Amino acid sequence: MKRVVIFASGSGTNAENLIKFFHNRDNASVIQVLTNNPHAKVLDRAKKLDVSALSFNKIAFTETHDVLNILKVNNPDLIILAGFLWKFPEVILNEFPKKVINIHPALLPKYGGKGMYGHHVHDAVVKNKEKETGITIHYVNKHYDEGAIIFQAKCAVETSDSAEDVAKKIHELEMEHFPKVVEALLNE
């Protein structure tokens, strides 16, 4: 049985989708959700689905090995960043090489980097009159949104689309593709 740990900072719709996708599978399961936000809705979503959920602070993440030690105990086959907003520490990346992935709400390398998440990305896509956007699932390295790309899916951006319209399209792509890509990675 493959073991998955999810990091999220907000509402946790991608985390919930992944937990439900793997719920009755015999090949993998989400064993824990970790968040840097003690008020994140992802905590409630995980608990309702009987998945361990913990929050941690910046010190536990970057200055001590507390979060690293939690991961070592859980021994995940894959660590998924699903709306997780902090830069991932190199010490964790070194301990779990090629096992940390992220989903980004744009077609990287466009609209990546520090501060480019959620509505900031969608606002920029609309402002720059992009004809298409999408999602990118990529490996995490020591730079924001610069790891090797695993998968991309595209959608059209209409001239009449608002940032909210783009967000809905991106959400649909995430819900459809993210679990399948994760499953494929776990089966490699």
Give which of 82, 9, 5 is closest to 39, Cα–Cα: 9
Q: Classify 140 as helix, strand or coil.
A: coil
Which residue out of 23, 65, 104, 120 is catalytically annotated?
A: 104
In the residue annotation, 104 being an active-site residue is answered as: yes
Task: Point out which residues pair with 149 in neighbouring strands.
Answer: 138
Cis? peptide before 179, omega within 30° of 0: no
Residues 6+ apart with CB under 8 A from 26: 1
Query: Which residues are part of the catalytic machinery?
Result: 104
